Amino acid sequence: FGGKVKDTPVDLVLSCVDNFEARMTINTACNELGQAWFESGVSENAVSGHIQFIIPGDTSCFACAPPLVVATHTDERTLKREGVCAASLPTTMAVVAGFLVQNVLKFLLGFGQVSYYLGYNALQDFFPTMRLRPNPNCDDTFCLKQQRLFQEREAAKPKDEVCAPQVEEAVVHDENEWSIEIVSETTEEESRAAEGERPVLTEGVTVAYTKPVAQVNDKTDFVDNTELSIEELMKQMQSL
């Protein structure tokens, strides 16, 4: 027990271990209990990492698509760790830890969208996201059991009726006693000039505003500077 509500199970389990055997142990225990949990890790070369949100029966568990080391039952102690970038290890771990904590907050506090899988490639600044479906041929028997339970829960849910979208009719007044009309005070040319040029951006990025085009003032609107004194200007005005 230890959930947000008193005398309830924990709401979430976080896996921050450094070996596959420990991950498989956590995976089996959470599958048996139907416990949602986050798996996280950093690659051996210290330049990539990931987090994965696992809901037993709904999403892929760690054994549904295991790493090659786990699938081939290779002893981790025999692996050679060549090409490790020790300088990037602390920063890569910090980035992955930040992703993990941020998604935990979104899950527990109920805001935003929780990432089911979020990767990080430091060499290319690449952040892939996806949702992994459970493997119906998973080796974990508890995972297969949770998949059946999830499918039964989904089948028991009431079907949503598809309703035709309602079209809102525009409000039109037949009478206009006071002859009121709405007229724009700016022309189309002025509107386009105020918007400015839109830069070419990557997909998913939009501009919050555009820099207006600088307006060039017409010199005919100004009086030429003749360098005359006030007295001389007064005499010219009196002679008109």
- Cα of first residue to Cα of last residue in the chain, in angstroms, is 99
* Residue numbers annotated as active site: 85
Compare 180 and 112 and report the one with higher pLDDT: 112
Percentage of the residues of the chain whose pLDDT score is greater than 70: 71
| Entry pTM | 0.63
d(CA 59, CA 30): 13
Average pLDDT across the chain, whole number: 81
pLDDT of residue 32: 95
Complete domains list, the chain, with CATH:
13-156 (3.40.50.720)
pLDDT of residue 39: 95
d(CA 131, CA 39): 14
Check if the beta carbon of residue 119 is closer than 8 Å to that of residue 127: yes
Q: How many CB atoms lie within 10 A of CB 53?
A: 24
pLDDT of residue 177: 73
Check if the beta carbon of residue 207 is closer than 8 Å to that of residue 201: yes
d(CA 132, CA 52): 9
d(CA 225, CA 219): 12
Averaged over 150-161, what is the pLDDT?
Answer: 86
Tell me which range, 35-39, 202-206, 216-220, is most confidently predicted by mean pLDDT.
35-39
| pLDDT-wise least confident of 57-71, 84-98, 186-200 | 186-200
Q: What is the pLDDT of residues 184-215, one digit of tens each?
A: 666 666 666 556 566 666 565 666 556 565 66
Averaged over 64-72, what is the pLDDT?
Answer: 76
